[in-house]
Structures are given as structure tokens and as C-alpha cells.
Amino acid sequence: MTINPNTNLTSSEYDDNFAGIFVSRWLFFLHLHIVELILALIVFIAIHYLRQKRSYGLPVWPVLGMLPTLISGLRSDLFELISHIVCQQNGTFLFIGPWFSSLSFVVTADPRNLEHVLKTKFSVYPKGPSFRENVGDLLGDGIFSADDETWRRQRKAASIEFHSAKFRRLTTESLAELVHARLLPILENATNKSIPIELQDILLRLTFDNVCIIALGVDPGCLIPQLPNIPFAKAFEDATEVTALRLVTPTWVWKTMKCLDLGSEKKLKKLIKDVDEFAKKVIETRKKELSESARQRSDLLTVFMTSKDEEGKPFSDKFLRDICVNFILAGRDTSAVALSWFFWLVGKNPRVEEKIVAEISGIVEEREEIKNGELVFKAEEIKKMDYLQAALSEALRLYPSVPLDLKEAVEDDVLPDGTVTKTGTKVVYAIYAMGRIESIWGKD
């Protein structure tokens, strides 16, 4: 055994000490390099973040894409966010979704692109298989989810009926009855007793009763004075909300939840069952009525029940169910939402309210005979209300009932602004944003 004279350590102890110092220094430099790598990665992500935001209008996160921004937008004001980005990006931008998801799409508010997608190249941009997959459980093969020949057949049949004198009379009489017998008494009672009401809820009840009468020939009674909870109405509303949630959820996520019968997908399954049971009961009742009575109805369900498909066969119960559900969706939300925004805007603009009242009063004064009691307007009088029509149109510009809609390219194409759309590209046209583009409407 030898002893190191300078340290009073044996050679083996000296070697062990030297090895320890070497290892500690090696670990120190290793940790330093790891810290440098982490800092370099952070800097890279930050630079990438800023470059992507400058290029696309929104930050693009690794793996998640723009999804975090979309989620934050859902919690605040998504449509204002989209409008801001669209204006920054000259009318069109690319939304990049998470890896391995179907949430990437072109977002546009350029009027040239909308005309191209909705008119010039209409056949190239159907709703597409992805959209049908998302909404198919609720809407089936109805007009909102259908494409091609199925869509054309339903649109043609509905269009013919909408323009028939019998159907228009049913619509006018139904709405007049609901307004004067239900809506006005509820509003007058709330006014007299100074009771606050949620106007959108009242209007949704009005339009739900109306659309059920003209589409199904049944009156659910949502707008009776007690304002009851109608199970079918509640199931339909909740099912619509869960289905809409699918559109902003990665497909594999909601499909997994559906397969495992979890969360919102479990809820949706129960809600659709309730909707189907209601539709089935209505269809069976109507078939029995038609077989026992020669009385002719004018509602859409009866029209399709007494019609034949292109092969000369009666429409199936599933087809009838899909028709009814789709037209309820079309007639309920869009009208109620539009009227809610309209009254909100009128309340904020007294000058506009005064002009609307003055126009209506002038039309009433033109009547040869003014009767006491309820004031019921005729169709020809409503056509004279030009300022009211303009105010409604302006409300729809600012707050469209359908702020966003979706199409999917079935072949390679190029939009008028130069944006390339490959087969399968989803195109979202932002109607809300288009109503706020200064190049269309000016600064004011």
C-alpha cells in the first residue's frame, strides 16, 4: 500500500476521490446541457409560436394546433375572435387542428368565396361525409345533413308545399293564433305585474309550438301561461346542443365516448331515443287518422305521408321521422334567435323603435275602418312595412341565426382569392364575420 504524500491518502482512496470529482463534474456539465436544451426548446417554441401567429393569425401549438385558442374562444366570444382574425388575414385563414384529428379547415368571409362555394361550384362543396357523421344520429338523412339526390328530393317537395296556398294559410293562421292567444297575454301579464321574463325562452317556445303545428300537425303547448317543461322540447334542445358539441371535438374523442357509452355521448343516446319515441307516436297517430278520416291536413308530415317516392312507394317511417326533426330544427332556433337579437337591438336604439312604431301607426291609420280591440295585421299590410324589414335585415347582418356553416370539398379546387382546397378540405364560411368586414360595409 502506497501513501500519497501531499494528501495523506492511500492510492486507492485517491483514485476513488478523483473518480468522484470527475463524475460530479460530468453530471454538472450534463445538467448544464440539459438546461441549455430546455432553454433552446423554449426559445424555438416561442419563435415558432410568433411566426405561426404572424402567418396564420392564430398561434399554432405543438400537437394541439390551434385547439387551445378555439377552446378559449368558446368560453368568451368565438365569433368576435374569428371576425378579428378574418379581417387581419384579408378574408380567409387556415385553422390548424390537433394532430390526428379532423379539425383543420379553411375559414373564409370573402364574398367571392361564398358565392363560389354556395353557387358557382355548389356540387363541389356539399356538406360532406364528416358533417353527416357528426349530426347523423340526430338528423338522420334529413335536409340539413343530406347531400346530392336525397337533398334535392326533399328540397323540391318542401319548396312545392311552402308555396301552396293551403300551407301558407296554415302558417299564417297558426302564428296569428299563437301570438294573440298565448304570446301577448304572457307579455301583458309580465308587464302589468313587473315580472322579469327571459325573452329568448318565450320566443323559442313560440317558434317551437308553431313549427310543430305546421310540420307535425301537433301542438306541444310550450307557450301556455304556465310555461311548462315539455319533455320532447327539452330532449330536442339538449340533443341539438350535444350534437353541435361534436363539431368542435376531435372525431376519435367523441367516437370513443360513444363506443364506451360515456359522458355526453351517453346522454345523447338517451335524448335521441326520447326524440324518436315522440316522432314514432306522432307518425302512428297520423297514419291512424288518415285511415279513419277523409279530412285533409296541410302539415308537412301529412304531405309526405300522402306522397310517394321516385319509385312510387310510400316514404318509410324513418324518412318521415328525419323530415320532421330537420324542419323543427330549421323553424325553431333560427326564427327565435333572430327575433331575440332584433328586440335587444331595438331596445338599445330608441330612435329606431320610434320609426318602427311610426311606420306601423301610419299603416293602421290608412285603414278605412279601425275596429276596437285586438290589432291584427293582414299580409298586404305587413308588406308595406319597409323600415321594419330593413331593421330586421340589419339585425340579421349583425347577429345571423347561423353564424358559421360548413362545407367539404369533394375534389381539388381553388377559391377565387387563391386559396387551394384539396379533396376533403373543410370550408367554414363565417357569416357573422362577413357582416363586419369594412371593405363590404364601410367603417360605419
Q: Cβ contacts of residue 235 below 8 Å, gap of 6+?
A: 271, 274, 275, 278
Mean pLDDT confidence for 175-192: 92
The phi and psi torsions of 66 (rounded to 5 degrees) equal -95, 10
Classify 155 as helix, strand or coil.
helix
Mean pLDDT confidence for 80-108: 82
Classify 93 as helix, strand or coil.
strand
In the chain, what are the domain boundaries? Answer: 13-56, 130-348
Q: Would the pLDDT of 1 be above 50?
A: no
- Nearest-5° Cα angle at 63, 59 to 68: 45
Q: Calculate the dihedral angle through the C-alpha atoms of 122, 124, 126, 131, rounding to the nearest 10 degrees.
A: -150
Mean pLDDT confidence for 323-337: 86
215-256 per-position pLDDT tens digit: 888 888 999 888 888 888 889 889 998 998 888 787 888 899
Mean pLDDT confidence for 279-299: 80
165, three cell numbers: 296556398
Q: Would the pLDDT of 257 be above 70?
A: yes
334-359 per-position pLDDT tens digit: 899 999 999 999 999 999 999 999 99
Q: Which residue has the cell 375572435?
A: 81
Band the pLDDT of 113: cuts 50, 70, 90: very high
Q: How far is CA 233 from the centre of its chain?
A: 18
Q: Would the pLDDT of 2 be above 50?
A: no
379, three cell numbers: 299580409
Helix runs in 89-183, H state only: 111-115, 129-139, 148-162, 165-178
Burial of 270 (0-12, 13-18, 19+ CB in 10 A): exposed
339, three cell numbers: 327575433
18-60 per-position pLDDT tens digit: 455 655 655 555 566 676 667 666 665 555 555 555 445 566 6
The mean pLDDT value of the chain amounts to 83
Q: Are strands 426-430 and 105-108 parallel, antiparallel or unpaired?
A: parallel
Mean pLDDT confidence for 82-88: 85
Contact 331, 158 (CB under 8 A): no
**CA dist., res. 193 & res. 196, Å (int):** 9
Contact 4, 11 (CB under 8 A): yes
pTM for this structure?
Answer: 0.79
| 130-348 carries CATH number 1.10.630.10 | yes
The reported pLDDT for the residue numbered 52 is: 52
The reported pLDDT for the residue numbered 361 is: 92
- Nearest-5° Cα angle at 350, 346 to 353: 60
373-402 per-position pLDDT tens digit: 678 888 889 999 999 999 999 999 999 999
Mean pLDDT confidence for 103-126: 92
| DSSP for 255-318, written as a single string | HHHHHHT-HHHHHHHHHHHHHHHHHHHHHHHHHHHHHH--PPP-SHHHHHHTSB-TTS-BPPHH
Q: Cβ contacts of residue 97 below 8 Å, gap of 6+?
A: 65, 66, 67, 103, 104, 105, 250
